[in-house]
Amino acid sequence: MVTAPRNLVLLGFMGAGKTTVGECLARRLGRPFLDIDHWIEAKIGKPIPQIFQERGEAAFRVLESEAVAYLGAPTGKVLACGGGIVKNSENVQRLAEGGILVCLSATPETVLARVGHQRHRPLLAGDDPGGTIRRLMEERAALYRAIPLQVATDGKSPEQVAADVLAVSGLTPPG
């Protein structure tokens, strides 16, 4: 029997570096890369802020779970997940069935410095992104902490974080 290679799945709060580090890991491992938010945008044909605005967060979470059901299947890809994917425990369970989960962490200060000037995250669009980051992080802290493999990203380059992810996951680049 041929077993499909497990995915490498990056979880963690907005601005933890899942997409940038995921692209770096995919290059190093010679694997395909997929970002769940980008996949949803391509499927619906609209950017995430517009999906939130027109359909609401609850509808976005349904699309996210549909994406997990499809993309969580083990095919050996590197998968970057939206920060809120952990809010649904079924998502985490599905992703764990098909892959190795690694949670990237960052302090609220690091997150604010990385994403405070960006405009494509509807949850941080209010006039106090720093306060929202702290509140959401606190709300979700236990969900992120429950993931056994953790990599702190503060003060590290994407390449350094990628190397740490390889170390904790036990994966080695080919060749």
* Identity of the residue, 117 or 174, whose beta carbon is nearer to ligand S3P in the bound complex: 117
Instruction: Give, in order, the Cα–Cα distances in Å from 61 to each of 64, 77, 88, 108, 116.
Output: 5, 22, 9, 23, 23
The tokens describing 134, both together, are 């702290």
Q: How far is the CB of 48 from ligand S3P (least distance, A)?
A: 5
Question: Helix, strand, or coil here: 61?
Answer: helix
Q: How far is the CB of 104 from ligand S3P (least distance, A)?
A: 10
- Residue 47 touches ligand S3P, criterion: CB under 6 A: no
* Identity of the residue, 29 or 63, whose beta carbon is nearer to ligand S3P in the bound complex: 63
- Residue 143 touches ligand S3P, criterion: CB under 6 A: no
* Identity of the residue, 5 or 128, whose beta carbon is nearer to ligand S3P in the bound complex: 128
Alpha-carbon distance 73 to 115, whole Å? 30
Alpha-carbon distance 120 to 49, whole Å? 6
Q: How far is the CB of 3 from ligand S3P (least distance, A)?
A: 29
- Residue 37 touches ligand S3P, criterion: CB under 6 A: yes
* Residues 98-127 contacting ligand S3P, CB under 6 A: 121-123
Select the residue interacting with ligand S3P from 17, 72, 84, 98 (CB under 6 A).
84
Look up residue 102 and give its DSSP letter. E
CA 123, chain centre distance (Å): 15
Instruction: Give, in order, the Cα–Cα distances in Å from 134 to each of 42, 103, 153.
Output: 30, 18, 17
* Residues 48-67 contacting ligand S3P, CB under 6 A: 48
Name the site residues for ligand S3P (rule: CB under 6 A). Answer: 14, 18, 37, 48, 82-84, 121-123
